[in-house]
Amino acid sequence: MPTDQPFEPDQLDQEAHARQILDDRASAEKLAAGGDARGPQGIERAVRDILMEIGEDPEREGLVRTPERMHRMWIELTCGYHVDPDRLINGAVFDVGYSEMVVIKGIPFYSLCEHHMLPFFGTASVGYLPRGRVIGLSKIPRVVEMYARRLQVQERLTQQIADFLQGRLNPYGVGVVIEAQHLCLAMRGVQKGGATMVTSSVLGTFRTTKGTRDEFMAHLDRATPRV
């Protein structure tokens, strides 16, 4: 039987995950502090300049700590650049005699569009056909988050997730589908809120074998049972 399971946040070890994000953020801050242009002073000075450029007063009560907050926020939202993939996997790849499709769908993510630095967000669904090796359930959402916490375009994000799993597991194939809404489309420009972008990346048998690809897509179309 294929393993077709929606991702639920409480399936993660939340405490360990939080510790990892904080550690990654601390590493990012240490790197950023290496030079004035990239350190806290540089980020905060840039935010102050932006506030003045748009006609605001950086010294008024509501804004006086905004540059500091923005610095901390940017470190958190882009900590994916500093995640160690080996530490993320942490040995959770197992030799298992299982060769049917594994699908995890509905993984929520938040990322930043590199063109306007506005958020895009949605869900990722990931499937793979094991070649005798499987990865721990919580690791796939963490892989999604590692790449989402960077300046991104949705097409690249989709491809990076697929390439990572293909390289680490050497499965027969991998499929990734991402559905997301982009605030750069909703808040500015054509201002078309509610539009959803769908991207996919299929590798190995997911690309070469129609039956495998159709099975993956059929899992995504099935309603998720609620327990």
**pLDDT of amino acid 36:** 41
- Written as one string, the DSSP assignment of the chain is --EEEE--GGGS-HHHHHHHHHHHHHHHHHHHTTSTTTSHHHHHHHHHHHHHHTT--TTSTTTTTHHHHHHHHHHHHTGGGG--HHHHHTT-EEE----S-EEEEEEEEEEEETTT--EEEEEEEEEEE-SSEEE-TTHHHHHHHHHHSSEE-HHHHHHHHHHHHHHHH--SEEEEEEEEEEHHHHTSTT--TT--EEEEEEEEHHHH-HHHHHHHHHHHHSPPP--
Q: Which CATH number fits domain 20-79: 1.10.10, 1.20.272, 1.10.286, 3.40.50?
A: 1.10.286
What are 62-93's pLDDT values in tens digits?
999 999 999 999 999 999 999 999 999 999 99
**pLDDT of amino acid 141:** 97
Averaged pLDDT, 57-62: 96
Fold agreement between 3-8+92-221 and 20-79: no
What are 124-148's pLDDT values in tens digits?
999 999 999 999 999 999 999 999 9
What are 3-20's pLDDT values in tens digits?
554 444 444 444 455 455
Instruction: Write down the pTM of the prediction.
Output: 0.82
Q: Where are the domains of the chain?
A: 3-8+92-221, 20-79
CATH class, range 3-8+92-221? alpha beta
Catalytically active residues, by annotation: 113-116, 154, 182, 184
